[in-house]
Amino acid sequence: MSERGEDDVSVFPSGVWRYPTEIRFGVGAIAELPSAVKSAGIARPLVVTDNGLAGHAMIADARARLEAAGLPTALFSQVRGNPVGADIEAGMTAFRDGDHDGVVAIGGGSALDAGKTIAMAARQPRALFDLHVSAGGPAAIDGSRVAPMVAVPTTAGTGSETGRAAVVTDERVHEKRIFLHATMMPKVVIEDPQLTVGLPANLTAWTGMDALAHCFEGLCAPELHPFSDGVAVEGLRVIKEFLPRAVLDGTDLEARGMMLAAASMGSTAFQKGLGAIHSLSHPVGARYDTHHGLTNAVFFPYVIVHNRASIHEKCDRLAAYLALPKGGVDGVLDWILTCASASTSRTPWRSWGSTTPGWTRLPPPPRRIRRPRATPCRCSRPT
């Protein structure tokens, strides 16, 4: 950890974790970006971020660090809040035209998912939307053609930095597509809580609800995976303790750092599976461009009620572990309602609700729904 200043190391715990990938964690960890890029085997990185973050000082600082280390960069920032195919295609062109050999993705889940998809798809012989899990699936992706990537999250929610998948909207049909391959896991992750300090309270709450949903659905998915269950339960405890603090005081570095860890724990836990929260929020987000974490928060309590009969034993254990005032499903539901209410109360509802054209007319149900297989109770098809 010699690249970080001694003062940075002394005020906050730091470390290097190597599960599920290499994570360099702690205040000042961004100083290790050049060595992380070199260790990933990247010499000419394409820096990918979203259009809202492109002009931020942290992007200029990251590029300056890389350039000073002899790593020439170019910047691609044509990434919207819910990335679409056109964003990825443009990034693939930038990657090829610039003769890049890897990606450094800096930002929230949108930038990280875009970076992962660009790194995966830029050198594939097949078209982008022939590679998602409902089309060719992982077997359609040539792992030897996937470029390495370093991930630098600036929000604590999606956990994309420790996942093998990415989500991109196919704007032609308004459906979110999942791309999945083992080689899409970032080679190195930089988790520096200082990079999340400027995140507004509402986005802190919304992204935190995404991490909470990942941990909870990972825990409740019916498949046997005790490793994921353990990570999920501890992730929920971390979120319970530190999300309110991060929302209340954005400069609380301990809360910011622990929420980064919780987000990574959530994406690690949901390798076991997700459920109806995401099955509902994905099509709504694809059609109406709503914030994913906020949409999760809206659906969260309804899914708990729907699954009550199948998750009561896990909720008994969870309520006890979290020391909730009330036990069982009711205790967990009360806690989730408190979290969801706090998150959604920070939302100008009219900006994404009834005034959105067609809001009262949801899109037709997709022909096939893959993700609900991980929800404990069967979901009926709307009529």
Residues 151 and 267 grouped into a single domain: no
What contacts 192, CB < 8 A, 6 or more positions away?
A: 26, 27, 28, 29, 30, 152
Segment (H or E) for 169: strand 165-170
32-43, pLDDT tens digit by residue? 999 999 999 999
Q: How confident is the model at residue 276 (pLDDT cuts 50, 70, 90)?
A: confident
Residue 78 in domain: yes
Residue 36 in domain: yes
Of 256, 16, 293, 266, the closest CA to residue 162 belongs to 266
Residue 88 in domain: yes
Neighbour-count burial of 49, counting CB atoms closer than 10 A to its CB (0-12 exposed, 13-18 middle, 19+ buried): buried
Domain edge (last residue) among 171, 194, 217 = 194
Residues 159 and 295 grouped into a single domain: no
pLDDT of residue 236: 97
Residues 188 and 334 grouped into a single domain: no
pLDDT of residue 282: 83
Q: Which amino acid is at 370?
A: R
Could you tell me the two tokens for 165? 């998948």
Q: Which amino acid is at 317?
A: R
Residue 156 in domain: yes
| Residue 131 near residue 141, CB atoms below 8 Å | yes
Q: How confident is the model at residue 292 (pLDDT cuts 50, 70, 90)?
A: confident
Residues 271 and 209 grouped into a single domain: yes
For residue 107, give the 3-state DSSP assignment: strand
Distances (CA, A) of 186 to 115, 146, 252, 302: 10, 11, 27, 34
Residue 178 in domain: yes
Q: What is the number of domains present in the chain?
A: 2
CATH of the domain at 49: 3.40.50.1970
Residue 13 in domain: yes
Q: How confident is the model at residue 283 (pLDDT cuts 50, 70, 90)?
A: confident
Q: Cα torsion for 185, 136, 170, 96, to the nearest 10°?
A: 60
Of 161, 145, 174, the closest CA to residue 113 belongs to 161
Residues 210 and 304 grouped into a single domain: yes
Residues 62 and 12 grouped into a single domain: yes
Of 136, 84, 76, the closest CA to residue 107 belongs to 76
On the question of pLDDT at 300 being above 80, the answer is yes
Neighbour-count burial of 180, counting CB atoms closer than 10 A to its CB (0-12 exposed, 13-18 middle, 19+ buried): middle
304-319, pLDDT tens digit by residue? 999 999 999 999 999 9
Distance between CA atoms of residues 91 and 95, nearest Å:
6
Q: How confident is the model at residue 375 (pLDDT cuts 50, 70, 90)?
A: low
pLDDT of residue 281: 87
Domain edge (last residue) among 141, 173, 194 = 194
Q: What percent of the chain has pLDDT over 70?
A: 86
Residue 369 in domain: no
Boundaries of domain holding 313: 199-361
Residues 185 and 37 grouped into a single domain: yes
Half-sphere exposure of 169 (CA within 13 A, CB side): 23
CATH of the domain at 210: 1.20.1090.10
200-256, pLDDT tens digit by residue? 998 999 999 999 999 999 999 988 999 999 999 999 999 999 999 999 999 999 999
Mean model confidence pLDDT for the chain: 87
Residue 323 in domain: yes
Residues 248 and 168 grouped into a single domain: no
Residues 163 and 217 grouped into a single domain: no
Q: Which of 133-137, 187-191, 317-321 shows the lowest per-residue confidence on average (mean pLDDT)?
A: 133-137
Instruction: Please give the sequence-ordered ranges of beta strands (E in DSSP) within 84-131, or none if there are none.
Output: 102-107
pLDDT of residue 1: 43
Q: How confident is the model at residue 11 (pLDDT cuts 50, 70, 90)?
A: low
pLDDT of residue 137: 82
Residues 95 and 168 grouped into a single domain: yes
- Number of other CB atoms surrounding residue 373 within 10 Å: 15
pLDDT of residue 271: 86
Domain edge (last residue) among 167, 194, 221 = 194
Residues 343 and 220 grouped into a single domain: yes
Residues 278 and 349 grouped into a single domain: yes
